[in-house]
Structure 1
Amino acid sequence: MPPRVTVIVHGPDVRGSFAECLAGVLRQLPPPGHGERGGHGERGGHGGSKGRGGNKSHGGHGREGGREPEAEVVVVPTDAEAREATARAVAKDGRLVVVEVPEGTPETEARVAGARRAGGEWLQFVAGRDRLPAGSLHALTGAIQLCSVPAGRHHADVILLNHTRSTWSTDGAPSPDGPLLDKAGHSPLPLVTLPGLLRLAPLLGTRLVRASFWRAHEEVLTAGNALYTAYALPLLADRVACSDQLALDARTQRAATLPPPVADGPEGRVEPYVAAYRLLEPGPATAPLRRTLYDLMTEDWLHIIAREQRGHDRGFFLAAAEAARACKPEGHRAPEGVDGVRQKLLEAGSYERYLRLAEFNDRRRHWRSLARKQKRALGAKVRARRGRAARKAPLDPDLAVFTAYWNRGVTCNPGAIATKLAEIAPHIKPVWVSGRARVPLLPPGTEHVVPGTPRYQEAMARATYLVNNVNFPTGWVKRPGQLHLQTHHGTPLKRMGLDQMPYPAAAHGLDFRQLLRRIDKWDYSLTSNRHSTLMWRHAYPSGYTELEHGYPRNDVYYTAGPDLVRAVRTRLGIAPGVRAVLYAPTHRDYESEWHPRLDLARLTERLGPDTVLLVRGHYFYSSSPSELAGLRATRRVLDVSAYEPVEELALAADALVTDYSSIMFDYAHLDRPIVVYADDWEIYQATRGVYFDLMERPPGAVARTEDELTEILAGDAWRDTAARTARAAFRERFCAFDDGRAAERVVRRVFLGTPDAELPPVLPLAERTPAPTPEEAVSA
């Protein structure tokens, strides 16, 4: 079997980048000899036992029992420094395939040499100045898995992928391509049906190309530089597919550190576009692509003229103008506004008029910017004066500020604590911080403040108690005597806090120094099990007091009666006797928008009319349009993404299907079946990082494919003896402190100062009685 992917690292060494690029690749390859007898599946390390959903592996750890590795690496160094870096890498790992080319070989020719030596089914070209993000080899094979089609259907020639960008001062900044890639979906389609994909960053390293397609079109694909090839690949492909998984970290060096460009006149950025444009034969079939590419290339040329210190380069302007006139599609209309005026001036070759327009716009931007700065400065002075005045006033011993999920409303642990506070410490007044758009959704009569307002500043400055399940803004100045309770909002499977540092896809440019400053303001850190306590210690290192009192939001799982279970199911329209399965997947750091990872219509059809799916997308995606609208009419799939509180959905559900969401730890308190759908476990594990191997210690049955999930839910495996045994072990490990009285313990300890020895003791797990199941609630 050939390897799935060949990564071709090529080019010269740019200020030591070649060695770093190779090191990043080697870190992702399995150790030599690893998996030669079928990968991890034989011992269940990643695939799980066959009794828990089979041992098929996705994304780099074996190919359905085939040999490893999934990827091979071909290196084509083109200067002495790159050859030295390659020799050092080969000494560490002899699996690298090195292709010798003459000193100074152009990168286009280096790519050709590498592709001719490659043995993989797919090719990725990586310039030695760039890097592969952590987990990208898993992402490549995962993308191929996602974009594959059944035999007999059209397949993709090119898969378009996502990337991050790094400079000398920034590292791993996310690209704007994610939403476009995610919206396009994984199905192979002709590019003409999605011409907007041409607006993806033209980075060759984000184009995964089928080797057979490359070889069939090698001469045309290598007729220009990397910019040309990045456009030529999708333009020549019969079909393209998309995945927003990260494939490349594109690095931009400081211009001052680079040698002067060689022969990089107008032809360096004009001719590649023109050559790519000429690949499209004129006609109605290609008209959408021609229009899009024309707008793209003129936008890029105007950007160069305006932004890259070439405003006085008449030669570049005139070369771009000549190309624009030659390529302008028939009937093309310039965009509205100043951008359209610029495009028309470029097409006309009116360099002097363009300069006058640019000077006028520069002056206008200057005065507008100055006015905005003055307005902001005045507002900041007013707010600072009010803040200083509020901080001089004494603390209010009966004022508590609550907020949850970045000011999203009365919910989660803070909401449960506030409810108990009103019961046993009613003299303390809770005030909720709410975003302006969320105010109409607050419960009637909720006392609230909106960030940035004078009332908000006063509340934050004078409250004695501050409760949050995330962090307050870094700019909040904590006063002596204020008590900050961090409740958190889940049990960590995925890496959190400082533990995200080795995972750039998860960190997304998080400022860890600022994070530490926010952590240092915590007085109390609340946990629901010993695992969380230990993980928070190194994820959030500071001097706070740990409160192992349980999660107040989970109290309802032990206090709810049959009336509440029946009421929620009635509210959702679930008839008695119908099995309700809550499907609640988590957020992927390598996906910008949420799409169900299951064919929900097909799944419900196979499960039959006696099962309804309650589908809850992650709150990170609340602004994204739902894909479930077309399924609502069937009443077999219900979009409950906006339903609050989530605990009521759990009470209404007969079973939970999730992937890696922390909801599994909360739902386990109900002692009801949990099924883990882990179709991308290796990719998630590599890109986000995890604290333990969920495949080895799951809370129930595990499915690695949709067919396996259907088989589990259609049969008895979702609730059989093996599932109950796994759930019992999971509950023993993660359900230690929640017994229905967590909120009371927190209120008495933090707000009333009750010593730990006088708090209600935690009831042992064996002595607790969870809320009744839907079946029990019907007969109660």
Structure 2
Amino acid sequence: MPQLSIIVYGPNAQGHLTELLDSLEARPLPDAEVIVAAVGDWARETAEGHSPETVVVSLPDGTGDAAARAAGAARASGRWLHFVHAKDGLPAGASRLIAERTAELDDTATGAPVDVLLLDHVTTTWQTAAATSRDGRLLAGAGRADLALNEAADLLRLTPLLGTRALRTAFWRAHEEQLTTEDEPYAAHAALLHADRVACLNQVAYEHRKLRPESLPQLAPEVRFALIDRYESLLSLAKDRRATRAVLYDLMVRDLVRTFAGEDLPDAVAREFFRRASVAAVRWRPEGHERPAGIEGVRHALLEEGAYTKYRAFQAANRSRRAAKKAVRTRKRQLGAKLRDQQYHRALSRPVDPNLAVFAAYWERGVSCNPAAIAAKLAELAPHIRRVWVVNKENAALLPPGTDHVIPGTRSYWETLAAAKYLVNNVNFPNAVVKRPEAIHLQTHHGTPLKRMGLDQMEHPAAAKGLDFAALLARIDKWDYSVSANSHSTRMWERAYPARYTSLDHGYPRNDVFYSATAADVRAARERLGIAPGKTAVLYAPTHRDYEAGFTPRLDLAALADRLGEDTVLLVRAHYFYGGAASPLTGLRRSGRIIDVSSYDPVEELCLAADALVTDYSSIMFDYANLDRPIVVYADDWETYRTTRGVYFDLMTEAPGQVARTQEELAQIFLSGNWRDESAAKARAAFRRRFCEYDDGRAAERVVRRVFLGEPEEALPPVLPIEERTPAPTPEEATA
């Protein structure tokens, strides 16, 4: 019996079935079967042209989606079912993630089994690709423990897609009649309402493709009435469950109001829709239910009142008010921009100040990264050059006392940028900044690239969303110098950012501290973090996924801390959805076994304090390797990340240490001691030779002498060979 039956169903809509089956064929799973419930000859021929292991169920043209799902499920032999519409897609590695998570649920079940596994997804349209959903936060908030829906009724707010639910086969068989419906959102919600227990996989495992409405048969206006029927049926299923009924009621009123307000329905249909929606809103309103505040609350009240004419008048008044406010905002913005341009261009007519340097980092967040290290060395070697930081209003109060700074958008900001000879940033200055012939723009970057950057992102829409590549090229054409930590970065920057700048192969200034820090510095860093002597501190620093909404925790930190024991402290460098006071993490935080360091700066201090690093694809691994301490890569979604974000090399074969693909593997790496064995040391040594090539503790000095003092390349301190460098002492050495 396979673990997972992937049931692809429906017609070959606009030819998308081919790419879906190609993706499944490219990554076959030994513990999964693929069944295609092919509707029509085109879908059947497409399915039969793929892997011979694929089971094809031929269905006549016109067979509905519900019947196709049922036909596919009837042939399934797996423990779990995943229904995938033929027009949709599966991100790389998605089926493996589902199979592993469901197997984990089967292995750990002690009471009532989990019936439904909830998944995250991305949405692709005819215009855009791989837009993240809002579901990630809800899934993350639910954690990895299985639970009854009453314990987490907000899960009903997840996008109602059947493809984002994996169903236990026995559960499907027991409720097939109730779930076999052409109304897919109803089936998606009903699956949750019928389930005894549910669990979450807070990773993207489904691609929902929205076809262009103009390419589909036109719906009769009266079809909108089915939305009211759907919610009334769902509310009847939840009538004895107060929490779930309250959430469903909120969803119903929201969707009914949006449908009425947002669709151009004929007046007769709109009136009847409003009347029926009003009846449903009154009939199903939970006892003690409070309407939302503000305009939304007014809409709800008018709907319940059945006041069609008042609602239309309210809509018209709102439209007029919004239009007036928009006009005022637009006028203010235009006047402000005009005034700013005048001030800036007046400032550009004045001479450049040869002793003024402007620094910025991470989109004006504060004093950090390579610009901070360069500014510190500049104060030492060229104190006559004034250093001014660009810092946004929110972070200005957090600056070290006495930091000379300007706030973006202010008059002093534009005048300072216009006058400065040196402009230093680890990202880019705004498009409006003019490159003066006498000025020098220094791009420091903020990491070694594993993921695709710059123009290389064009091939990866999930990573490139919102990027204006023409504007990007205009920004990089202003660069005079580009700092690099290794020859790999130099080559990739030249490819991703093609322009006439000079590459400074001097190392990353922010990494100098990894060679200058003393045993006292290491001890002090651990004391500031509250790490008790003798404890092993593991820094967990995952990266952002372009295909996910916000930070999605990939580890059950409570379970991991429990496995690693009381002598291990986890430093977590990312926001984690801890849940309420009853969360198992609460006690671990209080005891100091888990420390949230998401807002802790500088990150280099965290590295000094840590005995080991656990990361996935974050560039922190390249910096931490300078310390020659163990690194473990946790790559649970490597295939998805590699496909959606794009990478420059295969981290799985060129990792800086041990690699774990599951949480259990990660725990075993530490429990067995493999995290610091000979194999890990060899991998780290090769990684250091390649990626710590120019980092020797004197990078900032080389950059300052070359750029600010104008010294020739041959006069700069040479890069020390890696075998002659001495990193900062480890925490164990620092306490010896």
Please say whether Structure 1 and Structure 2 have the same fold, judged by a TM-score greater than 0.5: yes
Q: What SS does the corresponding residue of 1:388 show, helix, strand or coil?
A: helix
Q: 1:653 is matched with which residue? A: 610
2:297 matched to 1:340? Answer: yes
The reply to whether residue 209 of structure 1 matches residue 167 of structure 2 is yes
Asked if 1:22 is matched to 2:17, the reply is yes
Taking the aligned partners of 1:143 and 1:588, their CA distance within structure 2 comes to 20
Query: How do 1:71-150 and structure 2 match up within 5 A?
Result: 72-78=34-40, 83-84=41-42, 86-88=44-46, 90-141=48-99, 144=102, 150=108
Question: What's the offset of the Cα at 1:107?
Answer: 2.4
Distance of 1:102 and 1:427 partners within structure 2? 82
Aligned CA RMSD, in angstroms, stands at: 3.0
What is the alpha-carbon distance in structure 2 between the residues aligned to residue 747 and residue 181 of structure 1? 47
Structure 1: gaps of 5 or more residues? 32-59
Q: Report the Cα distance in structure 1 between the residues aligned to 2:215 and 2:370, rounded to whole angstroms.
A: 52
Compute the displacement of 1:293 (Å): 1.1
Distance 2:228 2:608 in 1: 62
8 Å CA contact 1:7–1:72 kept in 2: the answer is yes
Secondary structure, aligned partner of 1:464: strand
User: What secondary structure is seen at the aligned counterpart in 1 of 2:675?
Assistant: coil
Query: SS where residue 120 of structure 2 aligns?
Result: strand
Q: Is the 8 A contact 1:143 1:245 kept in 2?
A: no
Residues 187-241 of structure 1: CA deviation (Å, up to 9, x unaligned): 2211122222222222232222223222221111124511221221111111222
User: Structure 1 residues 431 and 320, CA, compared in 2 at 3 Å: closer, same or farther?
Assistant: same
Given candidates 489, 508, 516, the residue that maps to 1:532 is 489
Contact 1:565 1:651 in 2 (8 A): yes
Do the aligned partners of residues 518 and 23 (structure 1) sit closer, same or farther apart at CA in structure 2, a change above 3 Å counting? farther
Q: Is the 8 A contact 1:244 1:590 kept in 2?
A: no
Correspondence 1:190 to 2:148: yes
Q: Name the structure 2 match of 1:617.
A: 573
Note the alpha carbon deviations across 1:336-383, whole angstroms, 9 max, x for none: 333233223323332222222222222222222222222222222222
- 8 Å contact kept, 2:512–2:698: yes
Within a 5 Å distance, the mapping from 1:337-736 to structure 2 comes to 337-594=294-551, 597-601=554-558, 603-604=560-561, 607-609=564-566, 611-618=567-574, 621=575, 630-736=587-693
TM-aligned CA deviation for residue 754 of structure 1: 2.1
Instruction: Give the whole-Å Cα distance in 1 for the aligned partners of 2:122 and 2:223.
Output: 28
Instruction: Check 1:630–1:718 CA distance in 2 against 1; reply closer, same or farther (3 A cut).
Output: same
Distance in 2 (alpha carbons) for counterparts of 1:266 and 1:135: 37
Q: Who is 1:55 aligned against?
A: none
Structure 1 residues 678 and 623 mapped into 2: Cα distance closer, same or farther (>3 Å)? closer
Match of 1:299 among 254, 262, 268: 254
Pair 1:744-2:706 in alignment: no
Which letter does structure 2 place at the counterpart of 1:76? Answer: A
Paired with 1:252 and 1:715, the residues of 2 have a C-alpha distance of 47
Q: Deviation string for 1:275-329 (max 9, x for gaps)? A: 222222x33xx12212221221122111111111137321222232333344333
User: Which sections of structure 2, spanning at least 5 residues, go unmatched?
Assistant: none
Deviation at 1:427, TM superposition (A): 2.4
Q: Distance in 2 between matches of 1:124 and 1:316?
A: 35
Pair 1:133–1:612, CA change in 2 (3 A): closer
Change (3 A) 1:595 1:203: closer
The one-letter code of the counterpart of 1:236 is H
Q: Residues 330, 656 of structure 1: CA spacing in aligned structure 2 closer, same or farther, 3 A cutoff?
A: closer
- Going from structure 1 to structure 2, the CA distance change for 1:248 and 1:386 (only over 3 Å counts) comes to farther
The amino acid of 1:2's aligned partner reads: P
Q: Secondary structure at the match of 1:74?
A: strand
Q: AA paired with 1:613?
A: V
Return the letter of the residue paired with 1:77: V
Aligned residue number for residue 42 of structure 1: none
1:2 paired to 2:2: yes
Displacement of 1:762 after TM fit? 0.7
CA distance in 1, matches of 2:58, 2:578: 49
The 3 A distance-change label for structure 1 pair 700 and 452 is same
Displacement of 1:591 in angstroms is: 4.2
Amino acid at match of 1:299: R
1:452 CA drift (Å): 1.5
- Kindly provide the amino acid, as one letter, of the partner of residue 160 in structure 1: L
Q: Structure 2 CA distance, aligned partners of 1:686 and 1:254?
A: 25
Q: TM-score, normalised by structure 1?
A: 0.86
Please give the alpha-carbon distance, in whole angstroms, between the structure 2 residues aligned to 1:279 and 1:74: 31
Amino acid at match of 2:39: P
For 2:387 and 2:493, the matched residues in 1 are separated by 27
- Of 458-467 and 701-710, deviating more is 701-710
The whole-number CA distance in structure 1 between the counterparts of 2:463 and 2:603 is 25
Q: Distance in 2 between matches of 1:488 and 1:275?
A: 55
Shift of 1:509: 4.4
Residue 452 of structure 2 aligns with an amino acid whose one-letter code is R
CA deviation map 1:420-475 (0-9, x unaligned): 11111222222111121111211111111111211122222332222111222334
Contact 2:522 / 2:608 at 8 angstroms: preserved in 1?
yes
Change in CA separation of 1:390 and 1:244 when aligned onto 2, cut-off 3 Å: farther
Alpha-carbon offset, residue 595 of structure 1:
5.9
Task: Please say if residues 75 and 96 of structure 1, whose CA atoms lie closer than 8 Å, have aligned partners that are also in contact.
Answer: no
Aligned-partner Cα distance in 1 for 2:527–2:18: 58
> Alpha-carbon deviation of 1:417?
0.6
Between the aligned partners of 1:212 and 1:625, the Cα distance in structure 2 is 31
Residue 632 of structure 1 deviates from its aligned partner by: 3.1
User: Is the Cα–Cα contact under 8 Å of residues 94 and 205 in structure 2 kept in the other structure?
Assistant: yes
1:512 and 1:97 map into 2 onto residues whose CA distance is: 44
CA contact (8 A) 1:533 1:548 kept: yes
TM score, norm. by length of structure 2: 0.91
| Correspondence list, 1:173-322, <5 A | 173-262=131-220, 264-280=222-238, 282-283=239-240, 286-310=241-265, 312=267, 313-322=270-279
Render the CA deviation track for 1:2-38: whole Å, top value 9, x for unaligned: 252414231463xx2xx1x22332342244xxxxxxx
CA distance in 2, matches of 1:125, 1:175: 19
Classify 1:370/1:159 alpha carbon distance in 2 versus 1 (closer, same or farther; 3 Å). same
Partner letter of residue 423 of structure 1? E
Residue 197 of structure 2 aligns to which amino acid in structure 1?
Answer: R
One-letter amino acid matched to 1:26: L
Provide the residue aligned with 2:117 in structure 1.
Answer: 159
Of residues 119-128 and 370-379 in structure 1, the stretch that sits farther from structure 2 once superposed is: 119-128
Work out whether residues 581 and 613 of structure 1, in 8 Å CA contact, stay in contact via their aligned partners in 2: yes
Task: Give the Cα–Cα distance (whole angstroms) in 2 for the partners of residues 116 and 453 of structure 1.
Answer: 67
Q: Would the aligned equivalents of 1:8 and 1:115 in 2 still touch at CA under 8 Å? A: no
Compared CA separation, residues 145 and 662, structure 1 to 2 (3 A): farther
Partner of 2:704, secondary structure, is helix
Shift of 1:395: 2.4
| C-alpha contact 2:7 2:72 (8 A) present in aligned 1 | no
